[in-house]
């Protein structure tokens, strides 16, 4: 809007007509005082101001305007009588006005100047808008940066307080913070501590891979303090910190797990030594008891004791063999003697053995597997026996066990052992193939070490097969495995 200020209505009329003809919206004031009132209320793009007016003249009005912070930037176009007012023009400029036009007014020049001012006004408005949005953007960023800074400080003080080596990196994996403990292990704040040569891990490369994958890292490695050459096992864990979909940074720790590692190693060594040491005298005991068994007549009263001793010796033997197997798996020394064998024959043997050992149980056979399988016969039979023994053991009140076998369409031979016993809840099912895992509720009632299924799992894995369990508490369980027939590996 353009404000035309003139004491003569006819002048106002002609100016208004010219401007409105060219689509400029206008407002009018017949005196300086009225103009000032209007300027205070509304905002204008331009003020066309007659210099000679009774009361406040144009220059006085301009000077007053320059004192208003809201209006001081509005351009002013003075209307001056050609000869008389020119000497005042410089005064006009110094009061903040921007141009003048002499009377009588040439409409073309008027329009030219008005258009220029109007464009300037519009550009100014746009610039003001841009400036305002930039200012709020800067404010926003400052706020976010401040918050981030606060969070980083908080995170760093947490990482400083923990006993682990800790670090954070930017989203692209560059280390941007390390705690004090880090410097006990690495000479640089930007490089990972060196690892044991036997670990065969290039941490920098491993880290690049992790960052590229966007997935958490968990790695056991050995690092040593800078003031000692003794390497200690550490668990390196690093997780990405996300905001929505995006990773904004990574946080990682190295936890010293050397003591646990050594304890596990000592325990494994103990199990290995103890089971070896127990095995030798037990073999001798077993041999003598068997001799005794054969030398006692069928009607001798002591026969029953000898037979019971033999059963217990057999149980002890199985336990010790399992413990020996466990140590072999741990040390990577469980050997497999693979060659072709008829699958059906091991099933028949295993079922026969269970029937003899547990005569009060009914073992129902379903299907046949008359195929030749390439694998370790004894180990596969061990798995079948283990499944069957467990099925009997964990179903004290339901004396039927089913064993189903056959060849799957994909060419794998399968075995499913079903019992109607105590069953296993979902949460335990995923763990029972783990080492020493026993279901708490059952552990009190049934004896065992929790290593049978662990060995089964290893045997099936080493035959490139699949194993698992389907079960529900109180409903019985079905343990299954399948192995490829022709695998030569």
Q: Which residues bind ligand ADP (CB under 6 A)?
A: 390-391, 394, 419, 421-424, 432, 437-439, 442, 448-454, 477
Which of 252, 476 has the CB closer to ligand ADP? 476
Give me the least distance between CB of 379 and ligand ADP, in Å please. Answer: 15
CA torsion through residues 105, 106, 107, 113, sign: negative
DSSP 8-state secondary structure symbol assigned to residue 197: G
Q: What residue has token string 């129902």?
A: 364
What is the spatial distance between Cα 355 and Cα 13, in angstroms, rounded to a whole number? 121
Q: Which of 203, 207, 239, 238 is nearest to 221 (CA)?
A: 203
Give me the least distance between CB of 186 and ligand ADP, in Å please. Answer: 43
Residue pair 120/98 in contact (Cβ under 8 Å)? The answer is no
Residue pair 39/68 in contact (Cβ under 8 Å)? The answer is yes
Query: What is the CA 318 to chain-centroid distance, rounded?
Result: 44
End-to-end CA gap in the chain: 91
Which residue sits closest to ligand ADP, CB atoms considered? 448
What is the spatial distance between Cα 424 and Cα 439, in angstroms, rounded to a whole number? 8
Q: What residue has token string 């004896």?
A: 447
Which of 107, 448 has the CB closer to ligand ADP? 448
Which of 323, 485 has the CB closer to ligand ADP? 323
Which of 254, 433 has the CB closer to ligand ADP? 433
Give me the least distance between CB of 403 and ligand ADP, in Å please. Answer: 12
Which of 200, 436 has the CB closer to ligand ADP? 436
Which of 242, 445 has the CB closer to ligand ADP? 445
Which of 26, 477 has the CB closer to ligand ADP? 477
What is the spatial distance between Cα 121 and Cα 129, in angstroms, rounded to a whole number? 12
What is the spatial distance between Cα 209 and Cα 195, in angstroms, rounded to a whole number? 17
Give me the least distance between CB of 335 and ligand ADP, in Å please. Answer: 21
Give me the least distance between CB of 451 and ligand ADP, in Å please. Answer: 6
Give me the least distance between CB of 314 and ligand ADP, in Å please. Answer: 15
Give me the least distance between CB of 477 and ligand ADP, in Å please. Answer: 4
Residue pair 46/2 in contact (Cβ under 8 Å)? The answer is yes
């Amino acid at each position: 809007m353009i404000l035309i200020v003139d004491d003569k209505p006819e002048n106002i009329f002609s100016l208004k007509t010219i401007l409105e003809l060219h689509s400029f919206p206008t407002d009018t004031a017949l005196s300086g005082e009225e103009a000032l009132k209007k300027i205070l209320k509304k905002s204008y793009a331009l003020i066309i101001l007659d210099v000679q007016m009774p009361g406040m003249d144009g220059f006085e009005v301009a000077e007053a305007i320059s004192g208003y912070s809201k209006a001081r930037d509005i351009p002013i176009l003075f209307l001056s009588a050609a000869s008389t007012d020119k000497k005042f023009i410089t005064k006009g400029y110094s009061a903040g006005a921007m141009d003048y036009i002499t009377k009588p007014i040439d409409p073309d020049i008027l329009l030219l100047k008005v258009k220029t001012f109007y464009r300037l006004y519009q550009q100014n408005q746009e610039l003001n808008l841009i400036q305002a949005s930039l200012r709020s953007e800067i404010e926003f960023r400052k706020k976010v940066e401040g918050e981030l800074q606060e969070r980083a400080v908080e995170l760093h003080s947490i990482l400083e307080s923990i006993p682990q080596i800790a670090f954070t990196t930017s989203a692209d994996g560059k280390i941007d913070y390390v705690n004090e403990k880090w410097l006990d292990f690495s000479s640089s704040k930007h490089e990972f501590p060196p690892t044991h040569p036997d670990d065969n891990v290039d941490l920098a490369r491993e880290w690049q891979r992790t960052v590229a994958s966007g997935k958490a890292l968990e790695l056991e490695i050995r690092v040593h303090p800078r003031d000692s050459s003794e390497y200690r096992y550490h668990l390196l864990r690093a997780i990405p910190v996300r905001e929505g979909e995006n990773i904004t940074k990574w946080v990682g720790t190295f936890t010293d797990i050397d003591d646990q590692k050594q304890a596990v190693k000592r325990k494994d060594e103990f199990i290995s030594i103890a089971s070896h040491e127990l095995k030798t005298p037990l073999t001798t005991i077993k041999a003598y008891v068997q001799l005794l068994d054969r030398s006692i007549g069928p009607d001798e009263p002591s026969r029953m004791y000898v037979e019971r001793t033999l059963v217990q010796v057999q149980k002890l033997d199985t336990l010790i063999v399992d413990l020996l197997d466990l140590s072999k798996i741990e040390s990577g020394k469980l050997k497999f003697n693979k060659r072709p064998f008829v699958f059906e024959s091991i099933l028949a043997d295993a079922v026969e053995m269970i029937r003899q050992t547990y005569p009060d149980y009914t073992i129902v056979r379903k299907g046949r597997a008359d195929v030749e399988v390439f694998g370790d016969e004894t180990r596969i039979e061990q798995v079948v026996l283990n499944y069957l023994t467990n099925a009997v053991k964990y179903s004290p009140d339901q004396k039927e066990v089913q064993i189903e076998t056959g060849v799957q369409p994909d060419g794998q031979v399968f075995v499913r052992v079903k019992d109607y016993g105590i069953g296993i809840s979902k949460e335990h099912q995923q763990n029972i193939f783990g080492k020493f895992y026993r279901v708490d509720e059952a552990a009190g009632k049934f004896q065992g070490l929790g290593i049978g299924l662990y060995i089964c799992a290893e045997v099936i894995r080493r035959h490139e097969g699949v194993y698992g369990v389907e079960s529900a508490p109180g409903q019985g369980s079905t343990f299954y495995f399948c192995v490829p027939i022709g695998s030569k590996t």
